[in-house]
Amino acid sequence: MMLARKLFVATAVAGLATFMATGIALAAERTSQSKALLFCDGGAQESVITNSQNTQASTTSTAFVAIPSTTLPGGPSGAAGDTDTYTVTFSGEAGNSNSASWEIRGQVSVNGGAFVDMDPVDSNTFHSGTPRATHTMTWCRRLEATSGADFRAVWRKVGGGTAIVDGYLIQVQRSD
């Protein structure tokens, strides 16, 4: 009975090692020829930072401006040469005062530098029309941030009127 148990455990461990090695090899082979498709794989999760806001924010700005209460620290990646994968998710109940739309971008400031757009870098329509609906957008980037990285969401109104977001959150996940 003891020999059978040891063989069972050894078989399970070998199967798990094969599965993990295959998964690592597949992740290493993932490449994209398209700017619309990107891969942003990380390892063990190191931190999760979330900010939830239960008040309404609005803008009429046609230039990108920060959404209130969305700037969050992501933490440092480690020593020079060490990179981490940072994944930023914004979710909220969105609306408009007219039938137009509003766009959103995720941005990062690395080591105290200027904020720059994260992938995907093009403007993303977050909401169109007047009926309110809940939407989510995710951005990711692998970074070397020896002293830290800050993240935020910015938005702009397209087509006149007022963009509205209510009951929203932003979350930054850092993975090895």
Please say if the pLDDT value at position 36 is more than 60. no
Domain-embedded: residue 166: yes
Residue 29 · residue 39 · CB < 8 Å: no
Q: Could you read off the pLDDT of 39-95 as tens digits, one per residue?
A: 777 888 899 999 999 999 999 999 999 999 999 999 999 999 999 999 999 999 999
Domain-embedded: residue 22: no
Domain-embedded: residue 68: yes
Please say if the pLDDT value at position 22 is more than 50. no
Residues 6+ apart with CB under 8 A from 21: none
**Domain total in the chain:** 1
> Which residues constitute the domain of residue 55?
45-175
Domain-embedded: residue 74: yes
Q: Which residue has the higher pLDDT, 143 or 6?
A: 143
Query: Model confidence at 147, in pLDDT bands (50, 70, 90)?
Result: very high
Which CATH number fits the domain that encloses residue 120? 2.60.120.760
